[in-house]
Homo-oligomer: A and B are copies of this chain.
C-alpha cells in the first residue's frame, strides 16, 4: 500500500461534477442557470460554432503537419474548443490575453496569422506575431510564468486608467490562461497574490483538461480547482468547459467585473484534452480509452451543432459551406506552412538585445566571416 496519499485517484474529484455552470447540455439542450444567462444573438451562436470548427481544423492540420515532419511539435487542442472560443468571444478590443501554448482557437479568433503560429512549432521563428494588433501575447512555455506577466500587465492597465471608468468603452482587462497542472506552480499562486493585493483587472482562466501530461488532476489538488481562488480572496467559479455558451457567459461576467474595478476572478473550465499532450506524447501509457470515450459524448462542437440544427439556426447547406471554408482554410494552412522560410543564424545576434553589445557584434562578425569563408569556396 502506498503511504503517500496514493488514493489520490479516488478523491472527491468527480468526473461529472454538478457544481458547474452549464447552459447547454451534452445533448444540446438549452438549460438555465440561476446566476448566469446568455444573451447573444443567433449570429453569435453561428460564429462561435464556426470558430470551433475552424479551430479544430487548424488543430488537425497542425497534427498532420507534425506527422509529416513539417513541424517539430504540435500541442493539440481537441476537446477544448468551447473553452477557448467561448472565452475569446467574451473579450473586447481593449482586452489582452496571455496564453499558454495551446490556445490556438483564441489566437485565430483574435486574428493571429496562422502561419506565424506554425513558425513557432516549425522552428523558423521563436513564435512572434502581431501582439499589439491582436492583444494576444506570445505563447508561454515555462508553465505558469505568463500568469505573472498577465497580472503585471493588468496593473499597467490600472495605472493607465483603464479600469472602472463610467464609460465602458474605456475599460479593459486581461485574460490569463493556465492549465490545471500549472495551478501547482509557485508563480501561478504568486500571480493570485499580486492580483488580489492590487485588485488588478485580471481573470485567470484555467482549462482543467484533467491532465498535465500523464498526471491526473488529483495529483495537483484534492478539491475542485475553482475553490483555490477564494483562499486568495477573489471569486472562483466552475463552468462546463465544453459548453461554449456557459463559458462565454461566465467569462463575460468575470471580465466585466474586472474592467469595472472589482478585481480578479478565477474560472475553472472543466474540460478534457481529447488528444495527446503533444505530438510527442502517448496517452495510452497512462489513461484508459474508456475515459476518452466518456468525454467524447460531451463533445463541445457536436452539442452546439445539435442545438443549432434542432432549433433551425443552421441547415445542411450552412454546414456544407462551413466544411468548404474549413477545407479551404486547411489548404491555406498547409500552404502557409510550406511557405515558411528558414531563418539565418545571423539574425540571432541582433535579436538578443535592443542595443547589441560590442562583444556580440564581434561574435557576429566572426560568424559572418566564417560563413563567407565557405562561400568563398574554402
Q: Does A295 contact B (CB under 8 A)?
A: no
For chain A, the bracket of interface size reads 35 or more
Q: Hey, which chain B residues are within 8 Å of A220, CB to CB? A: 193, 197
A155 to B5, CA, bound (A): 10
In the complex, the count of this chain's copies comes to: 2
Are A198's CB and B5's CB within 8 A?
yes
Q: Contact check: which of B155, B161, B193, B221 meets A221 at CB < 8 Å?
A: B193
Instruction: Kindly provide the distance from the CB of A159 to the nearest chain B CB, expressed in whole angstroms.
Output: 5
A304 to B8, CA, bound (A): 44
A sample of 5 inter-chain contacts (CB < 8 A) reads: A4-B200, A5-B199, A8-B199, A186-B186, A197-B220
Q: Contact check: which of B184, B190, B223 meets A184 at CB < 8 Å?
A: B190
- A residues with CB within 8 A of B: 3-5, 8, 155, 158-159, 161, 163, 183-187, 189-190, 193, 196-200, 219-223, 227-233, 236, 263
Q: Contact check: which of B190, B200, B222, B231 meets A186 at CB < 8 Å?
A: B190
Identify the closest chain B residue to A199 (Cβ): B5
Q: Hey, which chain B residues are within 8 Å of A3, CB to CB? A: 158-159, 161, 163
Q: Contact check: which of B155, B221, B233 meets A233 at CB < 8 Å?
A: B221
Are A4's CB and B198's CB within 8 A?
yes
Instruction: Kindly provide the distance from the CB of A11 to the nearest chain B CB, expressed in whole angstroms.
Output: 8
A159 to B2, CA, bound (A): 8
Are A197's CB and B219's CB within 8 A?
yes
Identify the closest chain B residue to A194 (Cβ): B184
Are B197's CB and A190's CB within 8 A?
no
Q: Hey, which chain B residues are within 8 Å of A228, CB to CB? A: 231-232
A146 to B207, CA, bound (A): 31
Q: What are the 3 tightest A-B residue pairs by CB atom distance, in nearest-first order? A: A186-B186, A231-B231, A5-B199
Q: A3-B159, A8-B197 known; 15 other A-B pairs, CB under 8 Å?
A: A3-B163, A4-B159, A4-B200, A5-B197, A8-B199, A184-B193, A186-B186, A186-B187, A186-B189, A196-B221, A222-B233, A228-B232, A229-B231, A231-B231, A231-B232
Q: Hey, which chain B residues are within 8 Å of A200, CB to CB? A: 4-5
Q: Hey, which chain B residues are within 8 Å of A222, CB to CB? A: 196-197, 199, 233
Q: Hey, which chain B residues are within 8 Å of A221, CB to CB? A: 193, 196-197, 232-233
Are B263's CB and A5's CB within 8 A?
yes
Q: Hey, which chain B residues are within 8 Å of A230, CB to CB? A: 227, 230-231
A227 to B233, CA, bound (A): 8
Q: Hey, which chain B residues are within 8 Å of A5, CB to CB? A: 158, 197-200, 263
Identify the closest chain B residue to A184 (Cβ): B193
Instruction: Kindly provide the distance from the CB of A148 to the nearest chain B CB, expressed in whole angstroms.
Output: 10
A230 to B233, CA, bound (A): 12
Identify the closest chain B residue to A193 (Cβ): B184
A24 to B228, CA, bound (A): 33
A305 to B200, CA, bound (A): 47
